[in-house]
């Protein structure tokens, strides 16, 4: 038997187990929209922890992170900084948003914003931007699955077929089980990812250089420019501080604004569960370190991969590990890709229906579920098609998507914290922010200080929101107050406020 | 310590951290030496903030749980 046969066997075994876990979990949830989207608000701490971690760490961290460390050095460190800072606000605003969700029956962040600022246009814009941002993020995940398959099987399973296989499995369990399936498969995938990352991150530098310290000694001698931020640009020239810093800031701002991440506020059982998830979150962030070690291990390695994003599988294949370990890595990387991709697919489809279509057309619970499933397939197919034709780096895809979701930050914060904000202000800010973001995405050479287009968009977005709000009539005090000072209500009142 | 005070201190901590990990706060720490546990100093500096954040968030959650117990 050839080596790649054994690797493929481990991977297929893994895919089957994932499928089984997903299908079993999906059978336990009620068949309502709330059940399909928010898992009956029943996630406990362990599920929430792994769902959050596994959803956030994706092919981006597993392949893109090492790819940047390898080709652009300390530029990749921006990824170390934004996760915790992006997650921390959830500790303070999560319980408040969660209470509002329980009181008014919100399952998406657009419903929360449109609840405070009643406007179909705002809801529709949220839906459009969400789907537009989800597509590059999904492309990244699918490319990741394709890279892993094709690299470890010496191209016997092509990039296209590999991506199709992994996402075929994802489609089946997302269609069958909704978010509950996503939750339970992520618990399983989160554990696999963490173990594999640390094992490889310590093994590879030790085997090649005699340890992590000695590896950095060698790099400090040969390529010192790789070890100090802001690191290098894609062409090998020094990256600018403006670009590095605004990559951090735009990711911090956008982090919680990802609709699938924000939705966790509505899926968690209670405030304490949500808070504890935030407290434990930095432990997930530390798992980037071993992944960077593998990328750095490639810097002085005699052979180079075809493209920087392939460095992780390249190093694993070059270090003479047994087929079982290679297969397990493959499973870990696929877990990373799939555990994010499933949430994205599910999130994109439910948001398109809940926020894009539901405010315009009357839909029964059954119609919504059917439409949601159709959209899961359609969005998956679109992202797959784009993934197999595009050639950008994985990190670039995510940074571009972040520019779009950043524009949600001013409306969400205004809804929760600023009484004087008005519907017209929010709508004008949103339109101006999106326009600015798209303009600088298309004309990158015009960016001041090479700042990320998302940050430039947010600056315009927030400024317009404030100015227009101040010159339009304020909202009724009682209405704004219900959102800005949402206090804990007695359980009996909550039970009566049916949803 | 009351929960509201703990919240404010934590928010101040996160603001300081934001300054410390981008331009210009990161510039003085963007260096290779001294090495920490084998890591270049820049990488150790950014890792330090992750660990410190975990401790701060944990501390706030304890204060909060206690103050709720007193109610």
- CB of A228 within 8 Å of any CB in chain B? yes
* Cα separation values, A465 from A408, A422, A483, B21, Å: 12, 8, 18, 28
A51-81 burial, b at 16+ Cβ within 10 Å, e below that, comes to: bbbbbbbbbbbbbbbbbbbbbbbbbbbbbbb
Contact with chain A for residue B4, Cβ under 8 A: no
CB-CB contact of A334 with A15 (8 Å): yes
pLDDT string in tens for chain A (499-residue length): 577 888 888 888 888 887 787 777 666 555 555 554 555 455 666 776 776 677 677 888 889 999 999 999 999 999 999 999 999 999 989 989 988 998 998 888 899 999 999 999 999 999 999 999 999 989 999 999 998 888 878 888 899 999 998 898 888 877 776 556 666 677 777 777 778 888 899 999 999 999 999 999 999 999 999 999 999 998 999 999 999 999 999 999 999 999 888 887 887 777 887 888 888 889 888 989 999 999 999 999 999 998 899 999 999 888 778 888 888 778 778 877 887 888 888 888 888 988 888 888 888 888 888 888 899 999 999 999 999 888 788 888 899 999 999 999 999 999 999 999 999 999 999 999 999 999 999 999 999 999 999 999 999 999 999 999 999 999 999 999 999 987 654 443 443 333 3
- Distance in angstroms (rounded) separating the CA atoms of residues A267 and A37: 8
Q: Given an 8 Å threshold on Cβ–Cβ distance, is A244 in contact with B22?
A: yes
Cβ contact (<8 Å) for B50 and A285?
A: yes
pLDDT score of A379: 93
Nearest to A273 by CA among A42, A496, A115, A493: A42
Give pLDDT, residue A267. Answer: 76
Go through chain A and tell me how many residues it has: 499
> Which of B10, B31, B45, B46 to mutate to probe the A interface, most A CBs <10 Å?
B46
CA contacts within 13 A on the Cβ side of A47: 17
Which token pair is A109? 């962040």
pLDDT value at residue A180 = 62
Separation of CA A39 from chain center: 19
Helix ranges, A153-287 (H): 159-209, 212-222, 241-255, 259-262, 264-267, 271-285
CB contact under 8 A, A282 and B46: no
CB contact under 8 A, A282 and B38: no
What pLDDT shows up at residue A493?
40
CB contact under 8 A, A74 and B7: no
What is the model's pLDDT at position A494?
Answer: 41
Whether A279 and B57 lie within 8 Å, measured CB to CB: yes
Contact A240, A14 (CB under 8 A): no
Interface size A-B, in CB pairs within 8 Å, comes to 101
Q: Cβ of B18 and A85 within 8 Å?
A: yes
Chain A residues whose CB is inside 8 A of the B3 CB are none
Give A-chain residues touching B49 at CB under 8 angstroms: 81, 84
B26 touches chain A (CB under 8 A): yes
* ipTM for this model: 0.94
Residue A70 CA to its chain's centroid (Å): 22
Q: Å from A101 to nearest chain B CA?
A: 22
Taking the C-alpha atoms of residue A463 and residue A456, their distance in angstroms, rounded to an integer, is 11
In this predicted structure, what is the pLDDT of residue A334? 81
The reply to whether A61 touches chain B by the CB within 8 Å rule is no
| Interface membership of B20 toward A (CB under 8 Å) | no
Partner residue opposite B40 with nearest CB, options A88, A216, A283 = A216
């Amino acid at each position: 038997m050839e080596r790649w046969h054994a690797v493929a066997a481990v991977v297929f075994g893994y895919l089957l187990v994932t499928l089984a876990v997903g299908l079993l979990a999906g059978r336990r949830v009620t068949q309502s929209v709330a059940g399909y989207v928010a898992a009956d608000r029943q996630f406990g701490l362990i599920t929430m922890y792994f769902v959050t971690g596994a959803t956030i760490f994706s092919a981006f961290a597993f392949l893109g992170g090492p790819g940047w460390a390898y080709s652009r050095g300390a530029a990749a460190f921006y990824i170390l900084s934004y996760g915790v800072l992006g997650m921390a606000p959830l500790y303070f605003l999560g319980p408040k948003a969660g209470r509002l969700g329980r009181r008014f029956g919100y399952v998406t962040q657009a419903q929360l914003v449109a609840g405070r600022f009643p406007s179909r246009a705002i809801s529709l814009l949220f839906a459009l931007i969400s789907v537009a941002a989800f597509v590059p993020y999904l492309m990244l995940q699918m490319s990741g699955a394709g890279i892993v398959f094709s690299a470890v099987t010496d191209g016997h399973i092509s990039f296209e077929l590999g991506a199709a296989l992994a996402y075929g499995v994802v489609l089946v369990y997302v269609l069958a089980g909704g978010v509950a399936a996503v939750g339970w498969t992520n618990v399983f995938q989160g554990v696999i990812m963490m173990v594999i990352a640390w094992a490889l991150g310590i093994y590879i530098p030790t085997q090649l250089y005699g340890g992590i310290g000695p590896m950095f000694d060698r790099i400090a001698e040969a390529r010192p420019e790789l070890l100090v931020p802001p690191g290098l640009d894609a062409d090998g020239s020094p990256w600018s501080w403006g670009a590095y810093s605004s990559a951090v800031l735009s990711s911090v701002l956008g982090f919680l604004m990802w609709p699938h991440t924000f939705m966790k506020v509505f899926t968690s059982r209670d405030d304490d569960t949500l808070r504890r998830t935030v407290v434990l979150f930095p432990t997930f962030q530390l798992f980037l370190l071993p992944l960077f070690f593998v990328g750095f291990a490639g810097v002085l390695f005699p052979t180079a991969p075809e493209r920087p994003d392939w460095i992780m599988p390249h190093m694993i294949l070059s270090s003479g590990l047994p087929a079982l370990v290679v297969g397990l890595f493959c499973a870990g990387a696929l877990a990373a890709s799939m555990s994010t991709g499933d949430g994205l697919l599910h999130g994109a489809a439910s948001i398109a229906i809940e926020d894009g279509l539901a405010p315009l057309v009357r839909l029964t619970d059954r119609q919504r579920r059917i439409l949601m499933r159709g959209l899961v397939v359609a969005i998956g197919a679109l992202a797959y098609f784009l993934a197999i034709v595009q050639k950008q780096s994985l990190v670039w895809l995510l940074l571009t998507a972040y520019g779009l979701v950043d524009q949600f930050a001013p409306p969400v914060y205004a809804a929760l914290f600023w009484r004087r904000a008005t519907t017209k202000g929010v709508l004008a800010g949103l339109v101006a922010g999106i326009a600015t973001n798209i303009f600088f995405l298309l004309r990158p050479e015009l960016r001041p200080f090479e700042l990320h287009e998302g940050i430039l968009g947010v600056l315009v977005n927030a400024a317009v929101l404030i100015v227009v709000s101040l010159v339009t009539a304020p909202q009724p005090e009682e209405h704004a107050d219900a959102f800005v000072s949402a206090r804990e209500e007695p359980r009996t009142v909550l039970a009566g406020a049916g949803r | 310590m009351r929960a509201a005070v703990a919240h404010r201190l934590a928010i101040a901590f996160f603001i300081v951290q934001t300054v410390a990990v981008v331009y210009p706060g990161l510039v003085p720490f963007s260096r290779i030496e001294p090495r920490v546990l084998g890591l270049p100093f820049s990488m150790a500096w950014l890792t330090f903030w992750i660990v410190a954040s975990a401790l701060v968030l944990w501390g706030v959650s304890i204060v909060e749980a206690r103050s709720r117990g007193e109610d």
